[in-house]
Chains A and B, each alone.
Chain A
């Protein structure tokens, strides 16, 4: 796995030349130049394809003010321009997403919205309720969010009672537990994949406040949390 370097406006000049970051002396100048280009303080420099593959192979992943920078290049007849652009993905951790959003999203409204959505997702609360027009606007400005290395999808669907926001993991077998309304005398059953590869029909219940467990529908036995790969909804035919 590639090393990650996190720079900010305040520390990047000193940090690039810190020997402990593990970049050899010649490459530090290149990295400084690429960062100054990204900040608009230098013009793009001429590089070769060979140098691009060297950078891609040997340079660490760079985060600047919390946003990941990714390498792009423009091909010219005899050379290429290499430059960093801000990744459209927002890499967040469930433990520190609030601080990370403060570092990366300066737009107050978007910052507050993302905190609300992620908090609702992690706490299994219903997503915040917005008008359809607002949801359309949000879908255009929201970045691709990677939460704990899992890509999230933002969408919304129109229903009889208005529009409903959806914020969920993209992968088929999802982590944790879904949100579902507790309806008297009705168990909500989901498909749960266990580490042996089998898929079981299960429901979940809290034993203690906030301590949820999966149970098999056929025998009401609790599943060992360590054996669970993920859950998905049962699609009705």
Chain B
């Protein structure tokens, strides 16, 4: 399968050179933009999502393989996932708070330890991770990655 290798700094220029039709290019642009800006993935209709699932080649952003998948309950209720394929993800997830409460994630520290934490914004677009136990800020260089806590 063909690979698309994108760089977060100039991905827009790179996407414009791809051999995709204009509609699919716009869809890909939206997906990458939402991913980098921590927005919820775009809400395309069922037909568009399933078409993209078939035609999109393997995508790498900054050297990381991205997983694109469509989950469908039925034609009306479908959603897409566009995320790093690796277990411990970089950056920050979309959800910070849910119903007024911080959302907790599993964090892997650079010492190999795994602990629970949450993140919040100190100023617009400037996020930091905090330990759930101590409520203390964790320096970004001490975090290897985050993953969601799976419900049992």
Query: Do A and B come together as binding partners?
Result: yes
A185-B16 CB under 8 A given contacts A208-B62, A211-B91: yes
Give which listed residue, B62, B100, B140, contacts A115 with CB less than 8 A: B100
**Chain A residues with a Cβ closer than 8 Å to the other chain, count:** 29
Taking a contact as CB atoms under 8 Å apart, the answer to whether A184 and B8 are in contact is no
Taking a contact as CB atoms under 8 Å apart, the answer to whether A176 and B12 are in contact is no
Interface string of B86-130 (1 = CB under 8 A from A): 000111110011001100000000000000000011111111000
Pick out which of these stretches binds chain B: A31-39, A75-83, A93-101: A93-101
A209-B100 CB under 8 A given contacts A95-B120, A124-B124, A175-B123: no
Interface string of A192-215 (1 = CB under 8 A from B): 000000000000011111111000
Q: Which residue of A lies closest to B8 (CB)?
A: A207
B24 within 8 A of A: no
A67 CA to B49 CA in the complex, in Å? 49
Q: Which residue of B lies closest to A98 (CB)?
A: B100
Give which listed residue, A119, A121, A208, contacts B91 with CB less than 8 A: A208
Q: Which residues of B contact A179 (CB under 8 A)?
A: 124
Taking a contact as CB atoms under 8 Å apart, the answer to whether B62 and A184 are in contact is no
Taking a contact as CB atoms under 8 Å apart, the answer to whether B121 and A211 are in contact is no
Most buried by B among A94, A182, A210: A210
> Size class of B's contact patch?
20 to 34
Q: Which residue of B lies closest to A125 (CB)?
A: B39
A102 within 8 A of B: yes
A211-B92 CB under 8 A given contacts A124-B124, A185-B12, A205-B9: yes
Taking a contact as CB atoms under 8 Å apart, the answer to whether A177 and B100 are in contact is no
A115 CA to B101 CA in the complex, in Å? 12
Taking a contact as CB atoms under 8 Å apart, the answer to whether B100 and A212 are in contact is no
Q: Which residue of A lies closest to B33 (CB)?
A: A182
Q: Which residues of B contact A123 (CB under 8 A)?
A: 38, 96, 121, 124-125
Give which listed residue, A178, A182, A210, contacts B127 with CB less than 8 A: A210
Among all A-B residue pairs, the 10 with the closest Cβ atoms: A176-B124, A209-B91, A176-B123, A208-B91, A210-B92, A177-B125, A175-B123, A122-B121, A206-B36, A210-B38
Residues of B within 8 A of A (CB): 8-9, 12-13, 16, 29, 33, 35-39, 62, 89-93, 96-97, 100-101, 120-127, 140
Of the A-B pairs whose beta carbons lie under 8 Å apart in the complex, a sample of 23, sorted by A's number, is: A94-B121, A98-B100, A115-B100, A119-B96, A122-B96, A122-B121, A123-B96, A124-B37, A148-B122, A176-B122, A179-B124, A185-B12, A185-B13, A206-B91, A207-B8, A207-B62, A208-B62, A209-B36, A209-B37, A209-B91, A210-B91, A210-B127, A212-B125
